[in-house]
Structure 1
Amino acid sequence: LGEVPVLATGVLRELRMVKDPSEIDTLRKAGAAIDRVHARVPEYLVPGRTEADVAADIAKAIVAEGHSEVAFIIVGSGPHSADPHHECSDRELRAGDVVVVDIGGVCEPGYNSDSTRTYSIGEPSAEVAQHYSLLQRAQHAAVEAVRPGVTAEQVDAAARDVLAKAGLAAYFVHRTGHGIGLAVHEEPYIVAGNDLPLAPGMAFSVEPGVYFPGRWGARIEDIVVVTEDGAMAVNNRPHQLIVVPVG
């Protein structure tokens, strides 16, 4: 009847990028729930168990700690920790392994959690400890850069610059973050080339990593929400390399 259908993609994009107070409250609850799962992870990291064994325990914990379902589980041990997109395998954990655990679930009414912590089975080598300390600084710098008006690419650069100054630029091989909400990955993307100004209510991950192929890797990830004057983290687990005693 003369009406022309118009795609609502643009409108929905804006609505989904900026969360309202109830959505932020749900993201905070989801963040607290996945934090409780990470608190349980060290007990699962026993030499001789496989990555798949650990992932199965984590899946049960994700539901037990308040999620309605599992979204994803990454357990990368030893050389697998150097693959940012590894999921899990039948590789057995060993003393001396660095283990990247990146996990998320869905909390009612459909909002996602997502958090990464890195573990060391036994004391880490001097190299791992040194590079991990730099990674902590990079993640902190990126979170500190978050405030209204700053662009997404400026937050990415804040993390990248710390690692570049230490000669580790080539080992940070992915974007610094992604938006989160009804999807695990949605806008805004915290990546070079995205000049989108941040606004209060935007929620996204801050997750720099370093990866040394065939050897080891590490990542730290929190979800943050842009506030009127900075950032509020919805994840509150410690950022240091988590050492799991052996024996």
Structure 2
Amino acid sequence: MTIDRVHAAREIAEETGVDLLVLTPGSDLRYLCGYDAHAMERLTALAVPRRGEPFLVVPRLEAPMVEVSPAGGLGLEVLAWDETDDAFAVLAGAVTARLGSAPARVAVGNRTWAEHALGVQRALPGSALELAAPVVDRLRMVKSAAEIEELAFAGAAIDRVHARMHSMLKVGRTEAEVGADIARAILEEGHVGVDFTIVGSGPNGASPHHELSDRVVEAGDVVVVDIGGETATGYRSDCTRTYVVGGPPSPAVAEWYAVLQTAQAASSAAVRPGVTAEAIDAAARDVIDQAGWGKHFIHRTGHGIGLDTHEAPYIVAGNDIPLVPGMAFSVEPGIYLAGECGARIEDIVVCTEDGVRTLNEGPRELVELPG
């Protein structure tokens, strides 16, 4: 970890006319300086003024944690505040000293707690708050070679979980029981945390973000399994496969699933530098539309992934950002038939210099599992 990311953020802020970035605990803070702080009512913030050196404001009781984190080796000034101090006044004073006046435009992280954002605004009267995403996302969207290998590690780990599905997903078991087994497998296969386990059996598969339930898996059920976790370095996995349990799919299901598989392959194959995010969405959507299933594809085709499971770039109509090498995102079209079943196929892909690298393997056809 070096100070380069912080300085790069400062350069983009200055280029875009932002006077001050304030980033509180979360993935932006971890990305820029390596400090994985937990969010709470006490203010922790990385402040990056457009002039002068960036600094960290932290509760004194947590200052030792900064020192042993990667942030401790960056040479950042650490302003430790005591319980009786006004942390926002500490931040404002240091910013004003660096800029020579109060900042006019202050950008805060998208997921900054409201009490912290409003506290910053109150301490810097006359400043206008805005989101830091236009600055930070420009950096985070394009992964380094090291980040891509972290995502590849996560992808391989979640692939191994899907490869074990035959021992977990069985007729007579509840979604919750299957989900508990999957969660254990996510940890066993190389993650340090479980982000989510979606097991949508039968009609529940028509709800893309279905929560685990006590529904019992029945013979012939189509089951959507969407799972992901966090690795020790904070990078995420996210992979969906669809299964049919205890018997082959009906001819009707097999027919529209083949359309979905073609759409997912077309979208992945379209990935290359210069193609827009919305064109990747269209590559999948056009196949599904032309086959007559368009109204059953009810979400965007994908989302970026890194230290967050969902981050920029979003693969959706209206996003005309051109892909560049290093962008990593999901390709996950789905077809959902309310009251009946659903299906989704999801891989994490990376835009390369000459095309695409897919970070997930394993079968993308409708996988038949014995009952």
User: TM-score band, normalised by the shorter chain?
Assistant: over 0.9
Amino acid paired to 1:202: M
Please list, as runs of the form range in 1=range in 2, the aligned pairs for 1:121-136 lying within 5 A after superposition.
121=245, 122-136=247-261
Q: 1:102 aligns with which of 217, 222, 226?
A: 226
Match of 1:46 in 2: 170
1:156 maps to amino acid: D
For residue 163 of structure 2, give the secondary structure of its aligned residue in structure 1.
helix
2:307 corresponds in structure 1 to: 182
Q: Does 1:227 align with 2:370?
A: no
Which of 306, 313, 319 is 1:194 aligned to?
A: 319
Q: Secondary structure at the match of 2:266?
A: helix
Residue aligned with 2:164, SS: helix
Aligned to 1:26: 150
Deviation at 1:102, TM superposition (A): 0.1
Gaps of 5+ in 2: 1-96, 108-131
Structure 2 residue aligned with 1:173: 298
Q: Which amino acid aligns with 2:199?
A: V
Shift of 1:9: 3.8
Aligned-residue sequence identity (percent) comes to 63
Displacement of 1:10 in angstroms is 2.9
Partner of 2:342: 217
What's the C-alpha RMSD, in Å, of the aligned pairs? 1.0
The reply to whether residue 82 of structure 1 matches residue 202 of structure 2 is no
Residue aligning to 2:195: 71
In structure 1, what is the Cα distance between the partners aligned to 2:170 and 2:195? 24
Corresponding residue of 2:274:
149
Query: Letter of the aligned partner of 1:225 in structure 2?
Result: V
Letter in 1 for 2:216: E
- Secondary structure, counterpart of 1:240 in structure 2: coil
Q: CA separation in 2, counterparts of 1:176 and 1:96?
A: 27
Secondary structure at 1:99 match in 2: strand
Q: Give deviations 1:120-159, integer Å, cap 9, x for gaps.
A: 0121100111111110000000001111110000000000
TM (normalized to structure 2)?
A: 0.65
Structure 1 residues without counterparts, runs of 5 or longer: none
Match of 2:81 in 1: none
- The letter of the residue matching 2:194 is V
Partner of 2:55: none
- Residue 6 of structure 1 deviates from its aligned partner by 4.5
Residue type of the partner of 1:108? A
The residue that corresponds to 2:184 in the other structure is 60
How far apart, CA to CA, are the structure 2 residues paired with 1:41 and 1:16?
A: 33
SS of 1:181's equivalent in the other structure is coil
Deviation, 1:11, is: 2.8
Query: What is the aligned partner in structure 2 of residue 164 from structure 1?
Result: 289
Superposed displacement of residue 45, structure 1 = 1.4
Q: Secondary structure at the match of 1:160?
A: helix
> How many equivalent residue pairs?
246
Say which SS state the counterpart of residue 67 (structure 1) adopts.
coil
SS at match of 2:194: strand
Q: Secondary structure at the match of 1:111?
A: coil
Per-residue displacement from partner, 1:24-66 (whole Å, max 9, x unpaired)?
A: 0000000000000000112111111100000000000000000
Write the distance in 2 (CA, Å) between the matches of 1:26 and 1:15.
17
Cα separation, 2, equivalents of 1:124 and 1:239: 15
| Rounded Cα–Cα distance in structure 2 between residues aligned with 1:27 and 1:244 | 28
- Secondary structure of residue in 2 paired with 1:150: coil
User: Does residue 1:36 correspond to 2:160, yes or no?
Assistant: yes
TM-score by length of 1: 0.97
Q: Is contact 2:170–2:370 with CA below 8 Å preserved after alignment? A: no
Deviations 1:208-233 (A, max 9, x none): 00000000100000000000111101
